Amino acid sequence: MTAIALGADHAGLPLKEDLKAWLIERGHEVVDCGTQSSESVDYPDYAAAVAGAVTAGKAERGILVCGTGIGMAIAANKVPGIRAAACTDAYTARLSREHNDTNVLALGARVTAREAALEILATWLGAEFAGGRHARRVEKLAALDRRKEQSDAPTR
């Protein structure tokens, strides 16, 4: 099975724990990047931890949970090599994999019921990148990452 990095802020903690149990029940290895507390934390820290686990090869995919999923997706997408999508239904989750080859799923605990989140997750995990015309577009995303990495490189 797939190694999955999982992270949440305080708003997403209960749903993260439900997703974690669901993943483990299905034989996935879970890399839990926190939080473990309901005390207020900053979502970019957990997005960076999950994105880092994915880009370092410690996990094949990542799942992030905050209030809406939007902040987590924005933060994760700042990490070169990450293609994160905030998905609110199974259709967008499937297309995010088939068309965009997403490697991080962001969910909103305050806007997505537990059962819907599990359906979204199952669909996302089961979907495969379609390639074809979409591969050209995903390569263009990778080129943007490389351009950003070059512009961020220290100059001498």
Active-site choice (10, 28, 33, 66) = 66
Query: 19 in helix, strand or coil?
Result: helix
- Told to judge if 10 belongs to the known catalytic residues of this protein, a careful annotator would answer no
CA distance 79 to 62: 13
Known active-site residue 28: no
Residue whose tokens read 């999508």: 85
Torsion sign (Cα): 140, 62, 57, 75: positive
Residue 35, preceding bond cis, omega within 30 degrees?
Answer: yes
Q: Which residues are catalytic?
A: 66, 99
